Amino acid sequence: QVQLMESGGGSVQAGGTLRLSCAPSELILRPGCMAWFRQAPGKEREGVASIDNDGSNSVRESIQGRFTVSRANAKDPLYLEMNNLKPEDTAMYYCAARWERGPPPLRGYQYRFWGQGTQVTVSS
């Protein structure tokens, strides 16, 4: 049963914008932390951004200033606003969640629930 549902991926040209969203199912009420991860072909999964119920967030250094993670409150979806996209941002993006509260980590093993992913492709 799908517990996290991502949407918003697609194909854009370099410099473009995409907004990803992730909606938790009823099975995951009020997750303490949520995060975005990505995995490009032939590469390891890496943390992109995470946020806890208090709004504290962690953002991968390489995407600071371009990506913004947000979540209005513990019941709302998770978002990732991606601006000035680059070809190296091309990857499958996954949403993750856990019950425990923050500080919000960016290590995959610290998250229990995962979505099926949404593809982001950036062309030059």
What would the pLDDT profile of 39-92 be if each residue is shown by its tens digit? 999 999 999 999 998 889 999 998 999 999 999 888 889 999 999 999 999 999
Q: What is the pLDDT of residue 26?
A: 81
What pLDDT is attached to residue 1? 63
Alpha-carbon span 57 to 4, nearest angstrom: 19
- pLDDT of 61: 92
**Residue 52 vs residues 3, 48, 73: alpha-carbon distances, Å:** 18, 14, 9
